[in-house]
Amino acid sequence: MKQQSDDSAQFPQSLLPENIAKLTAYSSAKSEKLTGSTWLNANESPYTREYALTKTEFNRYPDPQPQQVLDAYSAYVGLEPEQVVMTRGADEGIELLVRTFCQPGKDSIALFAPTYGMYKVTADTHNVNINSLSQELLQQANAEAICEQVGDAKLVFVCNPNNPTGAIVPSSKIAQIAEQLSQTAIVVVDEAYIEFCPELSAVSLINDYTNVVVLRTLSKAFALAGLRTGFTLANTALLAPLRKVLAPYPVSTVVADIAAQALSTSNIASMRRQVGILNSLKARLQQWLRESSAVKTVLSGEGNFVTLQLKDKAAIATAYERGVVMRPFVLYGEDNWLRISIGNEQELSEVKAWLDAITQVNK
């Protein structure tokens, strides 16, 4: 057999759709091959919990939608089990919505940048147009003005709290937007970080507005990023077409087993205690940052992270040298932004040591 020295040269590029050829993949925090000792770049929880599997036989296919998990999660959020679809992370919920409701090459989504990158990547993957609006519009304009700018978008993504800025939109404003778009668009509220400000959730709108979807995850506050478990919440009529395109067995037996345990009453109480601790540590970090002469701007917002603008982006390289890994961003056209996940006290002490060092240099 003839050995091929260059696989890419042999692949017929004509087989690749144009939108995929032009696609810029989402760059997750873990896709960057970095080294360090303090990991504060992926908005993960610093807490760990051991789970013992209750299932020991895996020769049968799993329940596509494990009832025990649906019952537990619906009770947790105050909905009916029929209003919940379990997915492989909230990311699968995003993909399902685009794939179900948008026709490639015809329909569009609306988003408010800067925001979570998977909305754009998913739309680009499915050849769906993107109406990129601004966070400033979402925060400052009234619902009527926002809906005018949304235009004919089929899906309107509102990341709430927003990643990476932490900005929040009141549920009353989301309700107004949903009301005005009731016959033309679905309002998708991504609540990956809502456990850090639960009073601001839009879940209660689901029973009042047929075009509201809420995305949730166990990755953040529940400290199960490695499990890849999410939930799509909506009225049953909206979820019906999603169930048609859902993969036959999206949830493994192992994932369902651990998710059900994580949603026990005692584990939910433990999660809430941990959230309280993390919110307190976040307030401490924000104070350090505001007092530092090396920091230009600190964004106020919700979530288990703080986003800031450095006066000199060289400070990021200094952090890497110390083994402290945080997430750099280009925001508002400038490349000196940084997002710091809230870790435990020891991890944040490493951030404080880095901050003291760069502040001293900045004097």
Neighbours of 162 (CB within 10 A): 26
User: CATH number of the domain that 326 lies in?
Assistant: 3.90.1150.10
The end-to-end CA distance of the chain, in Å, is 66
Residues 180 and 281 in one domain: no
- Mean of pLDDT values over 63-84: 97
**Distance from C-alpha of 158 to C-alpha of 143, rounded to nearest angstrom:** 13
Which CA distances in Å does 72 have to 81, 88, 149, 260? Answer: 8, 17, 39, 7
**Distance from C-alpha of 255 to C-alpha of 268, rounded to nearest angstrom:** 17
**Is residue 59, in this structure, part of any structural domain at all?**
no
Q: Is 122 exposed, middle or buried (0-12, 13-18, 19+ CB in 10 A)?
A: buried
**Is residue 103, in this structure, part of any structural domain at all?**
yes
Residues 172 and 241 in one domain: yes
Q: Which of 265, 295, 314 is the last residue of a domain?
A: 265
Q: How much is the pLDDT for 90?
A: 96
For residue 145, pLDDT beyond 70: yes
**Is residue 218, in this structure, part of any structural domain at all?**
yes
Residues 218 and 259 in one domain: yes
Residues 275 and 201 in one domain: no
Residue 155 backbone dihedrals phi, psi, to 5 degrees = -125, 135
**Is residue 160, in this structure, part of any structural domain at all?**
yes
Residues 254 and 276 in one domain: no
pLDDT digits (tens, 9 = 90+) for 165-181: 999 999 999 999 999 99
**Distance from C-alpha of 95 to C-alpha of 203, rounded to nearest angstrom:** 20
User: CATH number of the domain that 147 lies in?
Assistant: 3.40.640.10
H helices of 11-101, where? Answer: 18-21, 67-77, 89-101
Residues 18 and 107 in one domain: no
Is pTM beyond 0.85 here?
A: yes
**Is residue 129, in this structure, part of any structural domain at all?**
yes
pLDDT band at residue 2 using 50, 70 and 90 as cut-offs: very low
Handedness of CA 304, 306, 307, 310 (dihedral sign): negative
Residues 208 and 355 in one domain: no
Residues 200 and 337 in one domain: no
Residues 88 and 220 in one domain: yes
Residues 83 and 206 in one domain: yes
**Is residue 57, in this structure, part of any structural domain at all?**
no
Give every CB contact of residue 299 below 8 A, 6+ residues apart in sequence: 165, 166, 167, 306, 307, 308
Helix (H) or strand (E) holding 124: helix 118-125
pLDDT digits (tens, 9 = 90+) for 180-239: 999 999 999 999 999 999 999 999 999 999 999 999 999 999 999 999 999 999 999 999
Q: How much is the pLDDT for 361?
A: 72
Return the structure tokens found at 110.
Answer: 């609306």
**Is residue 165, in this structure, part of any structural domain at all?**
yes
- 212 DSSP β-pair partners: 187
At residue 62's C-alpha, the angle toward residues 89 and 212, to 5°, is: 40
- Mean of pLDDT values over 76-90: 97
Mean confidence (pLDDT) of the chain: 93
Residues 209 and 341 in one domain: no
Is the bond leading into 161 cis (omega within 30 degrees of zero)? yes
**Distance from C-alpha of 253 to C-alpha of 315, rounded to nearest angstrom:** 45
pLDDT digits (tens, 9 = 90+) for 115-125: 999 999 999 99
Q: Which of 210, 231, 265 is the last residue of a domain?
A: 265
Residues 100 and 221 in one domain: yes
- Give the number of domains in the chain: 2
**Is residue 3, in this structure, part of any structural domain at all?**
no
- Mean of pLDDT values over 83-92: 97
Percentage of the chain beyond pLDDT 70 is 94
Q: Which of 184, 192, 172 is nearest to 210 (CA)?
A: 184
pLDDT digits (tens, 9 = 90+) for 232-290: 999 999 999 999 999 999 999 999 999 999 999 999 999 999 999 999 999 999 999 99
Return the structure tokens found at 241.
Answer: 């077409």
Which CA distances in Å does 137 have to 81, 110, 307? Answer: 35, 12, 20
Q: Which domain holds residue 259?
A: 67-265
Q: How much is the pLDDT for 1?
A: 44
pLDDT digits (tens, 9 = 90+) for 5-63: 455 567 777 777 888 777 776 665 555 656 788 999 999 999 998 999 998 889 999 99
Task: Count the helix, strand and coil residues of the chain and give each as a percent rounded to the nearest 5.
Answer: 45, 20, 40
Give the up-direction half-sphere exposure of residue 190: CA atoms within 13 A in the CB hemisphere. 29
**Distance from C-alpha of 224 to C-alpha of 195, rounded to nearest angstrom:** 14
- What single DSSP character describes residue 131? E
* Residue whose tokens read 């990021």: 316
Q: Which of 226, 250, 265 is the last residue of a domain?
A: 265
